[in-house]
Amino acid sequence: MFGYYFKLALRSLRRNLVLTGLMVIAIGVGIGASMTMLTIYRAASGDPIPQKSAVLFVPQIDNFGPQPNAPPNQDFLPQDLTYMDAMALMRAHLGLRQAAMYATTQSITPPNAAQDPLEGYVRATYSDFFSMFDVPFEYGGPWGKAEDDTHASVVVLTRPFNDLLFDGMNSVGRMLTIGDKPYRVIGVLDDWHPSPRFYDLGQDSFTGTDQLFLPFTRAIDQQMSTSGNLNCDRAGPGSGWDGLLHSNCIWIHFWVELSTASGVSKYRTFLHDYAAAQRQSGRFNWPPHVALRDVVEWLTYNHVVPVAVGTLTSVSFAILFVCLINATGLMLAKFMARSGGVGVRRALGATRPAIFAQCLVEAGVIGLVGGLVGVGLTKIGLVSCRSVLPPDLSILTRLQGADVLIAVAVAIAVTLVAGLYPTWRATQVHPAAQLKTL
Amino acid sequence: MAGAPRLFGPPGYRGAQRLSPHGEGIMEFGPILSSLRRNKVGAALIALQIAVTLAVLCNALFIIEQQTALSRAPSGVEDEASVFVITNRWVGDSGDLAARERTDLAALRALPQIVDATVSFDHPLGGPLLSMGITLQPDNPRSGTGAAVYTVDDHAIGTLGLKLIAGRNFRPDDIVVSHGFNDHYSSLSGVVVTQAVARALDPGGNVLGRTVSIFPGAMTAPIIGVVDRLQSSPFAGDSPFAARSMLLPLLWADSQIFYVARAKPGQLEVAMTAARNELYRISRRRIIVGMQPLSEVRLESYRGDRSVALIMGVVCAILLGVTAFGIVGLTSYWVSQRQRQIGIRRTLGATRGTILRYFQSENLLIAAAGSILGILLALGANLWILRSIALARLPWIYLLVGAIAVLVLGQLAVLWPALRASSVPPAIAARSA
């Protein structure tokens, strides 16, 4: 039966090419616009580390106190920690793994004297960073606790940076000058682009510009200043490097891995007790105000998805809606134009359900073709968006194999919904009245 | 009649009778309404499309206007296309950075293609943002305002071409060396603020000569000058902070600095090449990370805003196109359904113009109904957007322009099917009776 209806549908669609074309274009444009924006939206809001996002947490401690002009619906917790608080959490060592970190920009002098010095984006962190975030290595490996403790001059390179400096060769054991001190290469990462770069949502959080990793303890010794945000209260950063380390300024990110629910609640209690102790010592004069958020909560809390992308996505769904209304109207026209034919089939014994099925198959065929057109338009849409979007977002906008199937399935589904009313109207045709007019 | 529900004008006797034989121009709404009653669903679908289109159109145009207005806001820098920024990073911590910067600046200023040059921690329209608090009442934590900080020497106002509206520029002996955020001074010999900061500190803007306290660190300094405008940061958007900036007399001697130079008119390209060669000639213990005219920095900073505006524009065009084609499709169908009635009317003396105007009035009526619904939808959507982004309330002019746009769109879309209707020959009525 389906095959017959399918053949009827094709014949009927061929009969009025203009109406068919308009319907297919309407569905295609609607699917194309919404799929384009949805792909961009998904790229901007994806889970960057799905296998571990539920066990990685960011602790926050209110070290600035209640803000006089804070809006009531925001918690206004600082995004980062002070050096002192970060070190206290490192010493407490309550998680399975934990790492304090910050970004710094340094001059890099390649071992090859013919190469000019260049700027390098450095992440200063602890050895747990690599195991906690499942960071893959191409050559060598991460440094260990011993290097953290001895403030060792070792460095891990990302693959692109290793390509740049060592032509992609195994550079483990080679030396490299960072600032004006020598460092030994201990590992080279394989491709690793968590996007968004959840562990540091500062600038360029979608492209993630880290190029080198070195021990946090070493970076502090070398007084490498942060290239990320540095927020201070009125007391300021104090005087000199030591002043900054002892100041109430926040600039250190901190991540902790907690694999059990009891571990999470223990950590919450610990944070609360820590803030209470700070209050007792006179450093805070407000009640403890702390939070512990996992990766997804952290991304939502920080509004990682650009607002404009959200707006554009809603607008693109408005387009899909208009396209569907459009398709409904056109299908209505098409089906009603065939009242005579439907009358004949009814007179020859076709039941209403049969007519219903036949019209729905026709709607489905329109949806299928419209969906395919929509996939093509999505590709065009993504290519055009890539050329105008900021590069940090545009690199993520690739259409995956599953998307094509989803697009076509959605197209068929929405066309069937759009076709319900016209189909119902077609089944109401009275055979006698129609036959009279033939 | 068997009472079968019919969607579009059936070839029925009653319908034909109601059509006025003598066209009375655009005012024949009676028969149109009665015909629309028979085409309820089709008409409602067109009206709904127009409503959603109008709602999206108004809000999208408004967002486009807001986004592009930001990227066109004046920075306060005169002739941005002649000013360029050199991002300089010192290799290692070699030597006395302040002395090296003074050497570089003297060399840059001596170049024949360059008018003047200065050095700063950041630069207008991009770069990092250093924000500090400034207040006339240091003991009141709620007083004063935040402002973007430009660390400058005595050449900044000249290089950027800022308009000094009161007081004086820095003098060479005002400038002290700062090695970074942790280099603390308890007082400075003066600070220059923008007019926006002056007004935030004192509603009358009467601040010249008064001593301010700058946080963090409680640095004190007298306000020695007020400039008309200097944008704080592209990220400040159109908030009141966008124009709140202050210039501190600090020679910024840190690992990364920006040299800002003004080229002589028409000599930007040669000035940039000459500056690069000169800096490398002085020392290769540096990385020139980037070199860009301010006009290019502006383009890059607002690239996201412009993209959103562009995509919004394309989306609007698509939406208008889809709606127009929808109208063409449905109206064409109506025309073909009503061929006989049209023929009868033509036989009874209606002119082509009458038929044309009939379909145009019909569309006008539907589009007007859609517009009213659309205006309500637009206001609703605006309220929703207001909650998610801090956008202003939709001005009524957008509703008016949007409504006119969809009405015109409807008229244009209906023109082709209406012309086809008007060319139906009267004889058709006799042929298929």
Look at A234 and B315 and tell me if their CB atoms are within 8 Å. no
Residue B91: which of A69, A117, A429 has the nearest Cβ?
Answer: A117
Look at B184 and A322 and tell me if their CB atoms are within 8 Å. no
B342-391 pLDDT tens trace:
888 888 888 888 888 888 888 898 999 999 999 998 888 888 776 665 56
- Cβ neighbors of B323 (< 8 A, separation 6 or more) are A322, A326, B49, B50, B53, B406, B409, B413
Residue B187, strand partner residues: B220
The CA–CA distances, whole Å, from A342 to A420, A421, B432 equal 16, 16, 21
3-state helix, strand, coil in chain A (%, to 5): 50, 15, 35
ipTM reported for the complex surpasses 0.85: no
Nearest CA-CA distance, residue B259 and chain A, Å: 17
Q: How confident is the model at residue B190 (pLDDT cuts 50, 70, 90)?
A: very high
pLDDT at position B408: 92
Nearest CA-CA distance, residue A406 and chain B, Å: 22
Look at A234 and B216 and tell me if their CB atoms are within 8 Å. yes
Give yes or no for residue B10 having a pLDDT over 90.
no
Confirm if B271 and B110 have CB atoms less than 8 A apart: no
Name every chain A residue with its beta carbon within 8 A of the beta carbon of B288: none
Give yes or no for residue B13 having a pLDDT over 60.
no
Does residue A395 belong to any structural domain of this protein? Answer: yes
Instruction: With CA atoms as reference, report the closest residue to B162 among B275, B245, B251, B236.
Output: B245
Residues A110 and A234 in one domain: yes
Dist. CA B174–CA B250, nearest whole Å: 9
Give yes or no for residue B282 having a pLDDT over 90.
yes
Nearest CA-CA distance, residue B329 and chain A, Å: 7
**A211-243 per-residue burial string, b: 16 or more CB within 10 A, e: under 16:** bbbbbbbbbbebbbbbbbbbbbbeebbbeebeb
Name every chain B residue with its beta carbon within 8 A of the beta carbon of A333: 8, 42, 329-330, 333
Name every chain B residue with its beta carbon within 8 A of the beta carbon of A307: 388-389
Look at A238 and B8 and tell me if their CB atoms are within 8 Å. no
pLDDT at position B173: 93
Quote the strand ranges of B8-144, DSSP E: 83-90, 114-120, 131-135
Nearest CA-CA distance, residue B180 and chain A, Å: 9
Nearest CA-CA distance, residue B283 and chain A, Å: 12
Dist. CA A430–CA A435, nearest whole Å: 9
Name every chain B residue with its beta carbon within 8 A of the beta carbon of A388: 306-307, 310-311
Residues A227 and A137 in one domain: yes
Full residue range of the structural domain in which residue A406 is found: 2-47+306-437
Dist. CA B102–CA B172, nearest whole Å: 12
Dist. CA B269–CA B305, nearest whole Å: 28
Look at A319 and B328 and tell me if their CB atoms are within 8 Å. no
Look at A308 and B11 and tell me if their CB atoms are within 8 Å. no
B312, B318, B320, B322 alpha-carbon torsion, rounded to 10° = -150
Average pLDDT value for residue range B285-291: 90
Nearest CA-CA distance, residue B416 and chain A, Å: 14
Structure tokens that stand for B37 in this block: 């009653």
Nearest CA in chain B to A323: B322
B123-181 pLDDT tens trace:
888 777 778 889 998 888 778 888 888 999 999 999 999 999 999 999 999 999 988 77
Average pLDDT value for residue range B306-327: 86
Residue type, A247: S
- Cβ neighbors of B310 (< 8 A, separation 6 or more) are A388
Domain C-terminal end among A250, A283, A298: A250
Residue A315: which of B2, B60, B304 has the nearest Cβ?
Answer: B60
Does residue A244 belong to any structural domain of this protein? Answer: yes
Look at B329 and A22 and tell me if their CB atoms are within 8 Å. yes
- Cβ neighbors of A71 (< 8 A, separation 6 or more) are none
Confirm if A198 and A45 have CB atoms less than 8 A apart: no
Instruction: With CA atoms as reference, report the closest residue to B318 among A34, A40, A310.
Output: A34
- Give the mean pLDDT per block of 10 residues along chain A (438 residues): 78 79 89 87 81 94 78 72 96 95 92 85 96 95 96 96 93 92 95 85 68 96 88 81 90 95 95 95 91 91 76 84 87 79 82 86 90 90 75 62 84 88 83 67
Beta B245-248 vs B145-151: how paired, if at all? Answer: parallel
Nearest CA-CA distance, residue B264 and chain A, Å: 30
Does residue A22 belong to any structural domain of this protein? Answer: yes
Does residue A224 belong to any structural domain of this protein? Answer: yes
Report CA A398 to chain centroid distance, whole Å. 13
Nearest CA in chain A to B333: A333
SS3 readout for A392-421: HHHCCCCCCHHHHHHHHHHHHHHHHHHHHH
Interface test with B, best of A242, A322, A383 (most B CBs within 10 A): A322
pLDDT at position B24: 45
pLDDT at position A158: 95
Counting every residue written for chain B, the total comes to 433
Nearest CA-CA distance, residue B41 and chain A, Å: 8
Confirm if A80 and A250 have CB atoms less than 8 A apart: yes
Nearest CA-CA distance, residue B163 and chain A, Å: 31
Name every chain A residue with its beta carbon within 8 A of the beta carbon of B5: 425, 428
What is the SS3 assignment for A87?
helix
Look at A234 and B133 and tell me if their CB atoms are within 8 Å. yes
Look at B181 and A237 and tell me if their CB atoms are within 8 Å. yes
Nearest CA-CA distance, residue A23 and chain B, Å: 9
Name every chain B residue with its beta carbon within 8 A of the beta carbon of A180: 91-94
Name every chain A residue with its beta carbon within 8 A of the beta carbon of B92: 107, 109, 177, 179-180
Report the interhelical angle of A339-347 vs A352-388 (nearest 10°).
140
Q: Concatenate the DSSP letters of all residues of B306-331 into one string.
A: HHHHHHHHHHHHHHHHHHHHHHHHHH
Look at A330 and B218 and tell me if their CB atoms are within 8 Å. no
pLDDT at position B264: 94
Domain C-terminal end among A250, A282, A317: A250
Dist. CA A85–CA A64, nearest whole Å: 13
Helices (H) and strands (E) in chain A, counts: 16, 11
Name every chain A residue with its beta carbon within 8 A of the beta carbon of B378: none
Strand order in the sheet with B256-263: B114-120, B256-263, B83-90, B286-293
Name every chain A residue with its beta carbon within 8 A of the beta carbon of B325: 22, 25-26, 326
Look at B91 and A107 and tell me if their CB atoms are within 8 Å. yes
Name every chain B residue with its beta carbon within 8 A of the beta carbon of A105: 89, 255-256
pLDDT at position A222: 92
Residue A333: which of B215, B218, B333 has the nearest Cβ?
Answer: B333
Calculate ∠ Cα B333-A351-B6, nearest 5°: 30
Nearest CA-CA distance, residue A421 and chain B, Å: 10
Does residue A147 belong to any structural domain of this protein? Answer: yes
Tally of structural domains, chain A = 2
Look at A105 and B89 and tell me if their CB atoms are within 8 Å. yes
Look at A68 and B141 and tell me if their CB atoms are within 8 Å. yes
Q: pTM for this one?
A: 0.77
Residues A127 and A245 in one domain: yes
Confirm if B328 and B413 have CB atoms less than 8 A apart: yes
Dist. CA B241–CA B262, nearest whole Å: 26
Name every chain A residue with its beta carbon within 8 A of the beta carbon of B94: 180
B196-248 pLDDT tens trace:
999 999 998 889 999 999 888 778 999 999 999 998 776 666 667 788 899 99
Residue A329: which of B254, B330, B385 has the nearest Cβ?
Answer: B330
Give yes or no for residue B85 having a pLDDT over 60.
yes
Domain boundaries, chain B: 13-71+304-431, 92-284
Residue with tokens 């990110």: A253
Calculate ∠ Cα B144-B146-B151, nearest 5°: 115
B378-412 pLDDT tens trace:
888 888 776 665 567 788 888 999 999 999 999 99
Does residue A430 belong to any structural domain of this protein? Answer: yes
Q: How many CB pairs below 8 A link A and B?
A: 188
Residues A111 and A18 in one domain: no
Instruction: With CA atoms as reference, report the closest residue to A288 among A258, A264, A268.
Output: A268
Give yes or no for residue B17 having a pLDDT over 60.
no
Question: Alpha-carbon torsion A380, A381, A383, A384, what sign?
Answer: positive
Give yes or no for residue B83 having a pLDDT over 80.
yes
Look at B2 and A328 and tell me if their CB atoms are within 8 Å. no
Look at A322 and B307 and tell me if their CB atoms are within 8 Å. no
Confirm if B261 and B200 have CB atoms less than 8 A apart: no
pLDDT at position A72: 53
Domain C-terminal end among A208, A227, A250: A250
Dist. CA B158–CA B172, nearest whole Å: 13
Instruction: With CA atoms as reference, report the closest residue to B104 among B282, B289, B261, B287.
Output: B282
The CA–CA distances, whole Å, from B64 to B71, B286, B380 equal 11, 42, 18
